[in-house]
């Protein structure tokens, strides 16, 4: 019997979506619903787990299993679930405040453990749900409700943090670049191990246009470089610019002046994350920002496989546990 | 067998005290096991500093292990000591107060040098003091020197050789109390078998200690405690944390569920992790998380997936878990949260016992967030109560708090092994999949007010849980005021209804009288012993030990009202007393101690007697 073919609409729950009109979250939700049927995983085998924040209402809108949990901790719930139920496809939905502020610790640890799950981090560089305070990714100097004289915190890059934690899959996309977003989400789902997808997501109420340089089609060509494995890094309206490695630095060059052989070829499979880290550190306005898959390294053991393999091995070598034997272990004596 | 006189006694309380690192805990454990194997009833109280190696020879670094072994049934490690073994002056000055007049004092004379006096902050050798020599039967033994001689042939460095002196002390103690060397010889073989020179040196030291007792003129007689008359059955000696871990494994088997244990190391709960992680062939998965919050959250994730999920910690860790426990209660998922209480607040007294997290368990979450709470009363009881916790959790779809404490966790007692085949099954059911278009109702309730445990992977039952208030039955997010009140009330009722399915409170003694002693947790043994002694003295005193703390047993209100007075001894400032007073409007009297130490039987007897009609007001 052929499996029923699911459509995007089959993944929609019966709940009204309640994000602000114009919110970038709608686009991510739409792309997720579009991508899921392509993965061939049944709805009942799919679980969305979120923390707290606007983005974290996401599970309520999906007709799958879901858990809206507590602030910053979604990766830990997902770890417990995946460790015991490796048969499920688990998604973690989080935001920049949720994942990087209150959840910073768990963010690092889920990545270094390489639990086989997919994290989608909605980054709008602001606290939306609590109405406009600065977040760990807010630009320095930005005036927000809690930084009237400008933020003095140095912003955190989720991609850099992920690479530092030796994450096996690291990617970035844009809510407004729907095709690209769909591609990246699919790639993340197909990766075995923890995948992190940072999505630039516009908060049109509290931080409108914060990433317009990347989001707006007109500006995008000059400010964003789309990474493709095995391809040189080129960008600009007519792909007239490229990036090359000069010593320890990445440098923008005019392709009319430099042969293409000199350009940096993107290698997402390189287990050494050094150059991927250099890419992650390219920041507007001095450099174009990379989107696409920075890193996709396969073959690293996952936490869920290893925890279950140990149980399997213990059973194979010692046999299924016998409770009566277990409690009777050691020195016993009989009272008659 | 000894050739000297053997005096028969009903019980002995002995404490071994030395520097942390002197092996006193090992010595105590061996003496306990050996005594248990001899058929004695035993109860132990290990007491050690929070520092791994506090400065050597100082009072802060003293590590002690107390054990009572007896031919009668006992419930405490004993009040005053019949014998005290000390390895240095610091151990002497910090412990001598507990040795009864005329008791045996064995001192390692080699540990009493000028340097040791300075470290212990004593002016002169306390072993020379008249008061010590007059009050106790003092035996000064050159343990270090004698140990060195005994192990000289084994080619050990002086440092390693000196480390064997706890086995010398052990041998001497074994001779004095007629203990067999065999179990400890077996232990040495198992523990040090891979280092034959260390194994043979320890054996030589053990035998030398025994021979010293037998041959030296100083000891005129040894003591014999006959086997206790315990209920027939097979027994082993067990520590509380170990029993708790085995109880969790048993509960997982009884419910046909694999066990997920998410935790973060903390004293005195860590031994549960150490024990569980050995049993992977039972389907046990242990997760050492990055912090307490991750530990409890992963546990909730596992519970959502349909696994038997457990987390454990001590008070400070439970404080960190509070928000997630509120979520677990809101999600209505079954799990067990173990709190092995220690001295608080904050970091408090990490290695000392206290029972001051009862109100934290009751109220330590935001909003109306009731959870069932149960508490084991002794080390072996941890096994039964761990099973009970999971049974309630499954029946009620709720996290259950299991309140142990440091005294129970590290203490040990003989445990009559249960027949696993006779333990009742824990029935777990998950709704089956449906491919109909009927919407699944994840918050539809059964007769226990529990919702169904529908797990991911089940077709047609897709649903979302979360910390936002849920609409009755559908589980959709709801801000409806009446629905919120209804759901708050329903969750409270669900926990309250457990009272219908737990045993009524039992009483030791008459069900009415002058005074009822009400206790919970690890003070069981001391309270029971004190009450029995008072009953033997003819007082109309009874004892109710509560193992189900929330909800309380259904008959407890009537019981409290049947006595003229109610005394609630607790190792806190009156937490159960506060609950009983507010619930039943009974003017319970507190007897409260927060010294990081368990109750002694004598202080409880004094407290009980001071509230009896015959007592003369002070």
Contact B297, B325 (CB under 8 A): no
Give the pLDDT mean for B367-394: 98
Tokens of A206: 């509290």
Q: Cβ of A320: how many Cβ atoms within 10 Å? A: 10
Q: How far apart are CA B276 and CA B286, in angstroms?
A: 7
Tokens of A336: 């008659």
Confidence label for B617 from pLDDT (cuts 50, 70 and 90): low
Using a CB-CB cut-off of 8 Å, the residues of chain B touching A84 are 258, 260, 285, 301-302, 305-307
Q: How far apart are CA B99 and CA B610, in angstroms?
A: 25
Write the residue in B281, B418, B459 that is nearest to A44 by C-beta: B459
pLDDT at B100 over 90: yes
Element (H, E) at B338: strand B335-341
Is B1 buried (19+), middle (13-18) or exposed (0-12) by CB count in 10 A? exposed
Tell me A283's DSSP state: -
Q: What is the mean pLDDT of chain A?
A: 96
3-state SS assignment for residue B491: helix
pLDDT at B274 over 80: yes
Looking up tokens 């001497």 gives B172
Q: How far apart are CA B517 and CA B532, in angstroms?
A: 11
Query: Are A106 and B183 an interchain contact pair (Cβ–Cβ within 8 Å)?
Result: no
Residue of A45, A65, A311 for testing the chain B interface, max B β-carbons within 10 Å: A65
Residue B408: C-alpha distances to residues B314, B372, B375, B380 (Å): 13, 20, 11, 9
Give the pLDDT mean for A49-64: 97
Query: Are A65 and B323 an interchain contact pair (Cβ–Cβ within 8 Å)?
Result: no
What local confidence, expressed as pLDDT, does residue B117 receive?
96
* Partners of B235 in beta bridges: A333, B416
- B-chain residue closest to A331, CA distance: B236
Write the residue in B233, B305, B456 that is nearest to A44 by C-beta: B456
Chain B nearest C-alpha distance from A290 (Å): 31
- B-chain residue closest to A67, CA distance: B465
Residue pLDDT, tens place only, A283-308: 999 999 999 999 999 999 999 999 99
E strands of B385-531, at which residues?
Answer: 399-405, 412-416, 464-466, 513-520
Contact B544, B516 (CB under 8 A): yes
Q: How far apart are CA B332 and CA B458, in angstroms?
A: 18
pLDDT at B618 over 60: no
Tokens of A304: 């869920």
Tell me A102's DSSP state: I
Query: CB of A3 within 8 Å of any CB in chain B?
Result: no
Contact B43, B78 (CB under 8 A): yes
What local confidence, expressed as pLDDT, does residue A2 receive?
56
Give the pLDDT mean for A314-336: 94
Q: Cβ of A206: how many Cβ atoms within 10 Å? A: 21
Tokens of B605: 């007897």
Give the pLDDT mean for B213-229: 90
Tokens of B37: 């194997």
Contact A75, A109 (CB under 8 A): yes
Looking up tokens 């009833």 gives B41
* Partners of B65 in beta bridges: B16, B46
Q: Cβ of A234: how many Cβ atoms within 10 Å? A: 20
Looking up tokens 């509070």 gives B322
Query: Are A314 and B280 an interchain contact pair (Cβ–Cβ within 8 Å)?
Result: yes
Contact B245, B219 (CB under 8 A): no
Residue pLDDT, tens place only, B53-78: 788 899 999 999 999 999 999 999 99
Using a CB-CB cut-off of 8 Å, the residues of chain B touching A327 are 236, 246, 250, 383, 417-418, 420
Tell me B425's DSSP state: P
Query: Are B298 and A80 an interchain contact pair (Cβ–Cβ within 8 Å)?
Result: yes
What local confidence, expressed as pLDDT, does residue B444 receive?
97
Secondary structure (H, E, C), A156-215: CCHHHHHHHCCCCEEEEEECCCHHHHHHHHHHHHHCCCCEEEEEECCCCCCCCCCCHHHH
Give the pLDDT mean for B218-223: 90
Using a CB-CB cut-off of 8 Å, the residues of chain B touching A165 are none
Restricting to A residues 41-60, those with a Cβ less than 8 Å away from any Cβ of B are 42-45, 47, 49, 59-60
Helix, strand, coil proportions of chain A in percent (round to 5)? 35, 20, 45
Peptide bond into A205 cis (omega under 30): no
Q: How far apart are CA A124 and CA A211, in angstroms?
A: 8
Residue of B32, B72, B305 for testing the chain A interface, max A β-carbons within 10 Å: B305
Using a CB-CB cut-off of 8 Å, the residues of chain A touching B282 are 320-321, 323, 326
Tell me B443's DSSP state: B
Residue of B456, B463, B474, B478 for testing the chain A interface, max A β-carbons within 10 Å: B456
Query: CB of A178 within 8 Å of any CB in chain B?
Result: no
Write the residue in A87, A315, A333 that is nearest to B37 by C-beta: A333
Is A192 buried (19+), middle (13-18) or exposed (0-12) by CB count in 10 A? middle
Query: Are B302 and A44 an interchain contact pair (Cβ–Cβ within 8 Å)?
Result: no
Q: How far apart are CA B574 and CA A153, in angstroms?
A: 47
What local confidence, expressed as pLDDT, does residue B478 receive?
96
Q: Cβ of A316: how many Cβ atoms within 10 Å? A: 10
Q: How far apart are CA B399 and CA B584, in angstroms?
A: 26
Tokens of B17: 């005290």
Angle between helix B165-176 and helix B196-215 axes, rounded to 10 deg = 40
Query: Are A327 and B250 an interchain contact pair (Cβ–Cβ within 8 Å)?
Result: yes
Using a CB-CB cut-off of 8 Å, the residues of chain B touching A305 are none
Query: CB of A8 within 8 Å of any CB in chain B?
Result: no
* Partners of B541 in beta bridges: B515
Query: Are A321 and B282 an interchain contact pair (Cβ–Cβ within 8 Å)?
Result: yes
Count of pairs with CB atoms under 8 A, one residue in A, one in B: 207
Confidence label for B615 from pLDDT (cuts 50, 70 and 90): low
What local confidence, expressed as pLDDT, does residue A122 receive?
98
Helix, strand, coil proportions of chain B in percent (round to 5)? 40, 20, 35
Query: Are B290 and A105 an interchain contact pair (Cβ–Cβ within 8 Å)?
Result: yes
Residue pLDDT, tens place only, B4-42: 889 999 999 999 999 988 899 999 999 999 999 999 999
């Amino acid at each position: 019997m052929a499996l029923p073919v699911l459509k995007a609409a089959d993944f929609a729950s019966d709940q009204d979506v309640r994000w602000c009109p114009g919110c970038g979250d709608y686009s991510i939700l739409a792309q997720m619903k579009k991508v899921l049927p392509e993965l061939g995983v049944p709805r009942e085998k799919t679980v969305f787990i979120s923390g707290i924040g606007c983005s974290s209402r996401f599970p309520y809108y999906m007709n799958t299993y879901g858990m809206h949990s507590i602030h910053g901790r979604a990766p830990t719930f997902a770890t417990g679930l995946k460790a015991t139920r490796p048969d499920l496809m688990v998604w973690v939905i989080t935001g920049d405040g949720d994942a990087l502020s209150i959840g910073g610790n768990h963010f690092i640890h889920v990545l270094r453990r390489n639990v086989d799950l997919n994290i989608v981090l909605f980054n709008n560089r602001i606290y939306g749900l609590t109405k406009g305070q600065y977040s760990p990714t807010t630009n320095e100097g930005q005036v927000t409700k809690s930084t009237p004289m400008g933020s003095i915190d140095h912003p955190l890059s989720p991609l850099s943090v992920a690479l530092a934690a030796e994450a096996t899959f690291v990617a970035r996309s844009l809510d407004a670049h729907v095709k690209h977003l769909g591609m990246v989400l699919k790639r993340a789902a197909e990766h075995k191990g923890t995948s992190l997808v940072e999505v630039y997501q516009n908060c049109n109420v509290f931080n409108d246009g914060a990433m317009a340089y990347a989001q707006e089609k007109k500006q995008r060509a000059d400010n964003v470089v789309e990474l493709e494995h095995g391809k040189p890094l080129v960008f600009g309206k007519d792909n007239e610019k490229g990036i090359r490695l000069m010593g320890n630095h990445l440098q923008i060059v005019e392709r009319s002046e430099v042969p293409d052989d000199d350009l940096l070829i993107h290698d997402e499979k390189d287990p050494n994350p050094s150059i991927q880290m250099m890419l992650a550190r390219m920041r507007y306005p001095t450099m174009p920002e990379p989107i696409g898959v920075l890193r996709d390294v396969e073959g690293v053991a996952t936490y869920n496989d290893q925890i279950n393999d140990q149980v399997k091995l213990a059973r194979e070598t010692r046999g299924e546990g016998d409770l009566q034997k277990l409690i009777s272990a050691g020195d016993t004596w009989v009272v008659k | 067998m000894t050739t000297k006189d053997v005096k028969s006694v009903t019980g002995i309380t002995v404490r071994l005290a030395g520097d942390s690192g002197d092996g006193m805990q090992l010595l105590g454990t061996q003496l306990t096991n050996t005594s248990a194997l001899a058929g004695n009833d035993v109860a132990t109280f290990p007491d050690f500093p929070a520092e791994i190696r506090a400065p050597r020879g100082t009072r802060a670094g003293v590590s002690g292990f107390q054990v009572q072994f007896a031919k009668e049934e006992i419930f405490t490690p004993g009040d005053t000591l019949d014998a005290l073994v000390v390895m240095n002056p610091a151990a002497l000055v910090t412990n001598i107060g507990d040795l009864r007049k005329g008791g045996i004092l064995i001192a390692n004379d080699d540990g009493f040098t000028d340097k040791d006096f300075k470290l212990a902050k004593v002016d002169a050798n306390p072993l020379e003091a008249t008061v010590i020599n007059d009050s106790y039967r003092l035996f000064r033994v050159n343990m270090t020197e004698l140990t060195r001689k005994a192990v000289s042939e084994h080619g050990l460095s002086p440092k390693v050789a000196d480390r064997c002196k706890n086995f010398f002390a052990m041998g001497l103690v074994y001779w004095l109390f007629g203990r067999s060397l065999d179990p400890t010889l077996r232990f040495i073989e198992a523990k040090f078998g891979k280092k034959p020179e260390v194994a043979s040196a320890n054996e030589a030291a053990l035998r030398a200690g025994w021979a010293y007792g037998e041959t030296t003129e100083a000891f005129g007689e040894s003591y014999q405690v006959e086997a206790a008359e315990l209920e027939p059955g097979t027994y082993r000696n067990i520590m509380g944390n170990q029993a708790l871990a085995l109880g969790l494994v048993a509960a997982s088997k009884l419910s046909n569920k694999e066990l997920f244990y998410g935790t973060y190391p903390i004293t005195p709960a860590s031994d549960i992790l150490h024990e569980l992680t050995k049993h992977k062939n039972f389907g046990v998965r242990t997760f050492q998380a990055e912090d307490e919050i991750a530990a409890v959250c992963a546990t909730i994730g596992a519970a959502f997936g349909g696994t038997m999920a457990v987390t454990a910690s001590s008070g400070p860790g439970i404080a960190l878990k509070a928000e997630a426990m509120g979520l677990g209660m809101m999600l209505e998922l079954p799990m067990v949260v173990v709190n092995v209480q220690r001295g608080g607040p904050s970091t408090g007294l990490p290695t000392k016992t206290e029972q001051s997290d009862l109100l934290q368990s009751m109220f330590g979450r935001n909003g109306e967030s009731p959870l069932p709470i149960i508490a084991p009363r002794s080390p072996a009881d941890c096994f039964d109560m761990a099973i009970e916790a999971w049974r309630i959790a499954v029946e009620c779809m709720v996290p259950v708090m299991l309140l142990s404490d440091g005294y129970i966790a590290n203490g040990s007692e003989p445990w009559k092994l249960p027949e696993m085949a006779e333990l009742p099954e824990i029935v777990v059911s998950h709704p089956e999949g449906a491919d109909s278009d009927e919407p699944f109702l994840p918050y539809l309730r059964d007769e226990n007010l529990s919702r169904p445990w529908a797990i991911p992977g089940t077709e047609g039952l897709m649903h979302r849980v979360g910390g936002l208030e849920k609409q009755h039955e559908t589980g959709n997010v709801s801000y409806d005021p009446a629905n919120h009140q209804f759901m708050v009330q329903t969750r409270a009722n669900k926990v309250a209804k457990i009272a219908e399915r737990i045993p009524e409170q039992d009483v030791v003694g008459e069900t009415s009288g002058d005074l009822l002693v009400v206790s919970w947790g690890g003070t069981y043994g001391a309270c029971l012993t004190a009450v029995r002694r008072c009953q033997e003295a003819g007082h109309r005193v009874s004892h109710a030990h509560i193992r189900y703390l929330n909800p309380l047993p259904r008959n407890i209100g009537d019981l409290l009202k049947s006595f003229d007075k109610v005394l609630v001894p607790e190792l806190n400032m009156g937490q159960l007393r506060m609950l009983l007073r507010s619930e039943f409007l009974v003017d319970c009297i507190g007897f409260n101690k927060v010294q990081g130490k368990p109750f002694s039987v004598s202080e409880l007897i004094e407290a009980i007697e001071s509230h009896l009609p015959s007592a003369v007001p002070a």
